[in-house]
A and B are shown apart, each in its own frame.
Chain A
Amino acid sequence: MGLRDTLFGRTKQVAPNLDNLFALPTAALTLESELDLVSSGQAGLCFKSGSGESTLTTDEDIKQLLDFDQTNNKVTLTTDDLGFKWLVVTDPDFEALVTRIHAADTSMVEHGLGPRLLCAVFGFVAKTPPGEGSVRMVYLMKQGTFYPFAPTGPSQRDNELELRVKSFLGTDLPIEKDLARWMALWNLPVS
């Protein structure tokens, strides 16, 4: 923030950083070889719906913006308990999943909704269940960093597994270094 923003008490909205998303397919290979984790075929984009600055106030508007194929039930739009919107995409092809999420991100940024984007989430499950449990890779839009989230209950998470994921993916992905920012996403609609 500049001096004038500080003087007048204004915050600049932070633009999202989408570039690092494409590092994920390589990381997915590492996850499979090292931890036997494969894509669950689901990914989600979480954003806060606002009012005012844009015409996009209803789900219909958002669907139109994101080029929703009404007949395509692979893509759903839901609102969670905390009032955040989730665009959930299902596709067995992991690269297509990443591309789809990136495209949705890009079109939201183009329509001035970039600052509303919170995170993207990619689901990973054990190749041979039960395995070691499932992990979500969370991508923080504003920071451009990833972190693993492995919930094991309504408010429990498997920190050991998360730290193992970090140790294996450290070179493939920009992993969020500040562990205090590995926030939970309880009850998220992406499996």
Chain B
Amino acid sequence: MAKTKIEADHGLNVRMFVTGLALVALYAIIVSVMLSLGVSTVLVIVIAGALIFSQYFFSDKIAMFAMHAHEVTPQQEPKLHEIVDRLCLLADMAKPRVGVSEMDMPNAFATGRNPNHAVICATRGLMSRLNDEELEAVLAHELSHVAHRDVAVMTIASGVGMLAGLVSRIAMFGAMFGGGGRGRGGQNIVILEMITMLVSIVIYVIAFLLTMALSRYRELAADRSGAILIGKPSVLASALVHVTGDMGKIPRTDLRKTEGMNAFFFAPALAGGTAANLFSSHPSLEKRLDALNKLEKELNG
């Protein structure tokens, strides 16, 4: 992070620190719960560690696979490469690999365990909806994720949630198979394990909400750095308006090519509410636009 020429937002830093602190506190609770479980502790740690490690180590491959993305050469996508080249020079960072996903959904992502193993990827839907300037703004936002090492941060954060989930699952198995027909002592063990299970489920939910909160702060931080990098917060704001919310949902796909699927589309769009906001990994469009507006004023003032 030190290399990139980006000023800090102190309020954002404080909030990120508090969220991270809360996550660590949760971690301590989980460890004590696991210790009360006894023998399975080592197994839990080994399994969770392996899962988190592979998620971290293969993050680029997992994300590319999930988004149906493939890496592209400068010959295949000269414009995309040129924009990334220019931004990397501006931010003085190593150029990540560049990928394209053929999906019509407008989206972009950056992943990889460190800036040297990063990949930045845009979908066809994104490139067809945005003009060059807006595309540059979105890529600057994604490059900021790389510079901020968000994959490492979020892996560690969500790892805690995963640990809690594992503990609750193992406790559940214990309650189902361990308690039956063991005489007088059995009763107490069952109750103990039920309580353990309940506690870890509550912990899992809280950890999940905190992880999402942290993710939203990281998004705002990436918005800020990306906007400062290109020097025009309003361009990033305009790109966000074009790809998130209602406009991002309107497809580019031809009706005649999907005609066979028409009969199967039944689900109406879910109405968004406050719950959706609490559970979502990205801040609402209004919040992001507000933050960018403020930044625009700061830069001009």
Does A178 lie within 8 Å of B265, measured CB to CB?
A: yes
Does B269 lie within 8 Å of A82, measured CB to CB?
A: no
Whether a CB of chain B sits under 8 angstroms from the CB of A96 is: no
Given A159-B242, A163-B247, A179-B249, also A82-B254 (CB < 8 A): yes
7 residue pairs, one from A and one from B, having the closest CB atoms: A183-B255, A179-B249, A159-B247, A82-B256, A178-B269, A182-B250, A14-B263
In chain B, what residue has the closest Cβ to A82?
A: B256
Give the contacts of B229-263 with A (CB-CB under 8 A): 242, 246-247, 249-259, 262-263
Does A119 lie within 8 Å of B268, measured CB to CB?
A: no
Which of chain A's residues have a CB closer than 8 A to the CB of B257? 82
Which of chain A's residues have a CB closer than 8 A to the CB of B242? 159
Complex Cα distance A56/B257, Å?
23
Which of chain B's residues have a CB closer than 8 A to the CB of A119? 255
- Least CB distance from A136 to B in Å reads 11
Whether a CB of chain B sits under 8 angstroms from the CB of A157 is: yes
- Least CB distance from B94 to A in Å reads 34
Complex Cα distance A191/B241, Å?
29
Does A138 lie within 8 Å of B252, measured CB to CB?
A: no
Does A179 lie within 8 Å of B263, measured CB to CB?
A: no
Which of chain B's residues have a CB closer than 8 A to the CB of A184? 251-255
Does A160 lie within 8 Å of B255, measured CB to CB?
A: no
Which of chain B's residues have a CB closer than 8 A to the CB of A23? none
Chain A 18-56 interface mask (CB, 8 Å, partner B; 1/0): 000000000000000000000000000010100000000
Complex Cα distance A180/B267, Å?
11
- Least CB distance from B269 to A in Å reads 5
- Least CB distance from B126 to A in Å reads 13
Give the contacts of B258-295 with A (CB-CB under 8 A): 258-259, 262-263, 265, 267-269
- Least CB distance from A97 to B in Å reads 21
In chain B, what residue has the closest Cβ to A180?
A: B249
- Least CB distance from A66 to B in Å reads 20
Interface size class, chain B? 20 to 34
Does A48 lie within 8 Å of B254, measured CB to CB?
A: no
Given A138-B255, A184-B254, also A156-B128 (CB < 8 A): yes
Q: Which of B250, B255, B258, B267 contacts A159 (CB 8 A)?
A: B250
- Least CB distance from B131 to A in Å reads 10
Complex Cα distance A80/B251, Å?
21
Given A118-B259, A142-B263, A179-B246, also A157-B269 (CB < 8 A): no
Residues of A at under 8 Å CB distance from B? 11, 14, 46, 48, 80, 82, 84, 118-119, 138, 140, 142-143, 155-157, 159-160, 162-163, 177-186
Q: Which of A142, A162, A181, A183 contacts B254 (CB 8 A)?
A: A183
Q: Which of B129, B258, B267 contacts A183 (CB 8 A)?
A: B258
Does A118 lie within 8 Å of B128, measured CB to CB?
A: no
Q: Which of A11, A118, A156 contacts B256 (CB 8 A)?
A: A118
Does A162 lie within 8 Å of B259, measured CB to CB?
A: no
Given A14-B263, A142-B262, also A179-B250 (CB < 8 A): yes
Which of chain A's residues have a CB closer than 8 A to the CB of B128? 155-156
Complex Cα distance A185/B259, Å?
11
Does A183 lie within 8 Å of B251, measured CB to CB?
A: yes
Does A178 lie within 8 Å of B268, measured CB to CB?
A: yes
Instruction: Specify which of B254, B256, B258, B268 lies most central, judged by the most chain A CB atoms within 10 Å of its CB.
Output: B256
Which of chain A's residues have a CB closer than 8 A to the CB of B253? 183-184
Complex Cα distance A86/B7, Å?
58
Does A186 lie within 8 Å of B254, measured CB to CB?
A: yes
Does B250 lie within 8 Å of A185, measured CB to CB?
A: no
- Subset of 23 A-B contacts with CB under 8 Å: A46-B256, A48-B259, A82-B256, A84-B256, A118-B255, A119-B255, A142-B263, A155-B128, A156-B128, A159-B129, A159-B242, A159-B246, A178-B267, A178-B268, A180-B269, A181-B251, A182-B249, A182-B250, A182-B251, A183-B251, A183-B258, A184-B252, A184-B253
Does B265 lie within 8 Å of A181, measured CB to CB?
A: yes
In chain A, what residue has the closest Cβ to B265?
A: A181
In chain A, what residue has the closest Cβ to B263?
A: A14
Which of chain B's residues have a CB closer than 8 A to the CB of A118? 255-256, 259, 262
Which of chain A's residues have a CB closer than 8 A to the CB of B252? 155, 157, 184
Which of chain A's residues have a CB closer than 8 A to the CB of B262? 14, 118, 140, 142-143
